[in-house]
Amino acid sequence: MNFKLSLISTALLTTFSISTFAETEQTVDTNTETLEQINVQDTGIKQNGYQMTGTSVVSKAEVPVFDTPNTVNILSTKLLEDRKPESLIDALYNVSGVSQANTLGGMFDAIQKRGFGGNRDNSIMRNGLQAGPAKNFSATTETVEVLKGPASVLYGIQDPGGVVNIITKKPQQTPRYVVGGTLGNHSLWGTQLDFTGGLGNGFAYRFIYDKQEKDYWRNFGKVKNTTYAPSLSWENDKTKVLLSYEHKDILEPFDRGTNLLTATNALPDIPVSRRLDEPNNETTAKTDNIDFKIEHKLSDGWKLNAGYSYARYKYFYDQARITNVNVKTRTARRAIEQQQGDQRVHSGTLNIVGEFGIGDIANRFVAGLILCVIFAILVLFITKAS
């Protein structure tokens, strides 16, 4: 059940016209005046139900999809609201050429694009900046863009399959307050808050809170996720500034799936919902994301963009790892494995985008720099299988 409260302002303009007729001598003004040229531009970036008419993933600027020479799939806000996916791969389910790679027991986002990709291939972006392998899909996600093919090099050293760009929700000047609740299968329950509005003098804020808990779909395990996301923006006629932060607490089963039989390499004849590990096979994690972006209009058709992103994924998993399954003796050999990880990603970008004409040909120019630094600390402990 969702409760929504919004403030809507309506302006009504009425024009009165009074005409006066009189027989007077007509005079002709022979003076001429040259008016200053005015350029009117509209990117046409709108959402039409499930369809998005524009994208920024290709040229670093919002342009209509039909003007892009690359293959781009965009998941609109309306589509995500109706489908309510719980993960990034769920959101991308209907996108052609996209499939799930090895998530390491559900710890990472792992997306294959046209056969390329893995859980640490640096192909997942957040507002156009490197996001790292952490779970990036959350209640703050507004749209998802998939750029396919070698154009992914626009975002650094990438596989030729493409990149996935997650666009987060931004502060709005129009006040909007949403309080929601969720009930579903597997004892799912959740609460959501989404408040946004203007603060005056060009400032606007947004605060998003989301908490969900449910039973795991297999025979044991719990899923608990909590998200806090405040953001602040400021803009005037030429400059836009955005600062946002997101924190997530994650508790999920560390599930590597059902193991193949040692003798035949076939699946054992057991229900798909049955796990052969232990209830303490869990992943606990914390993620932190900080985004800072500036967009400045240099002149008509030209602008400068700068951005910095910090992402941290700190996790710990514990598992009884299945190494051997024997149907005849009805035994499974398992090794105790634990890993603690701390990964940090610093990403920055600076680019200039311009539009100009040469004769009857319209041109778009993009030039910039991308810098990404990744720090990772991994500690692994394994006991002998028994």
- Residue 76 CA to chain centroid, in angstroms? 11
Asked whether residue 2 is assigned to any structural domain, the reply reads no
Cα–Cα distance, 233 to 231 (Å, whole number) = 7
Answer yes or no: are the C-beta atoms of 214 and 223 closer than 8 Å.
yes
Beta-sheet pairing, 129-130 with 63-64: unpaired
What's the CA angle centered on 106, arms 251 and 155, to 5 degrees?
Answer: 110
> What pLDDT score was predicted for residue 61?
64
For the chain (386 residues), the mean pLDDT of every run of 10, in chain order, is 38 34 47 56 56 66 64 88 91 90 87 86 89 88 90 78 92 96 92 96 97 94 96 96 97 87 80 88 95 93 94 92 81 87 94 88 87 89 72
> What pLDDT score was predicted for residue 244?
97
Question: pTM of the entire structure?
Answer: 0.81
Cα–Cα distance, 182 to 142 (Å, whole number) = 18
> What pLDDT score was predicted for residue 235?
95
> What pLDDT score was predicted for residue 106?
85
Cα–Cα distance, 169 to 206 (Å, whole number) = 8
Answer yes or no: are the C-beta atoms of 187 and 152 closer than 8 Å.
no
> What pLDDT score was predicted for residue 364?
83
> What pLDDT score was predicted for residue 46?
58
Asked whether residue 53 is assigned to any structural domain, the reply reads yes
Cα–Cα distance, 142 to 168 (Å, whole number) = 5
Asked whether residue 29 is assigned to any structural domain, the reply reads no
Taking the C-alpha atoms of 23, 27, 28 and 31 in order, what is their torsion angle to the nearest 10 degrees? -140
Asked whether residue 292 is assigned to any structural domain, the reply reads yes
Answer yes or no: are the C-beta atoms of 352 and 303 closer than 8 Å.
yes
Structural domain count, the chain: 1
Asked whether residue 168 is assigned to any structural domain, the reply reads yes
Q: Look up residue 147 and give its amino acid.
A: L
Asked whether residue 18 is assigned to any structural domain, the reply reads no
Answer yes or no: are the C-beta atoms of 318 and 282 closer than 8 Å.
yes
- Residue 333 CA to chain centroid, in angstroms? 40
Q: In sequence order, which residues have a C-beta less than 8 Å from that of residue 9 and are 6 or more positions away?
A: 174
The CATH number given to whatever domain includes residue 360 is 2.170.130.10
Asked whether residue 72 is assigned to any structural domain, the reply reads yes
Asked whether residue 337 is assigned to any structural domain, the reply reads yes
Cα–Cα distance, 312 to 335 (Å, whole number) = 29
Domain interval for residue 144 = 43-382
Cα–Cα distance, 166 to 144 (Å, whole number) = 5
Structure tokens at 113: 């694009």
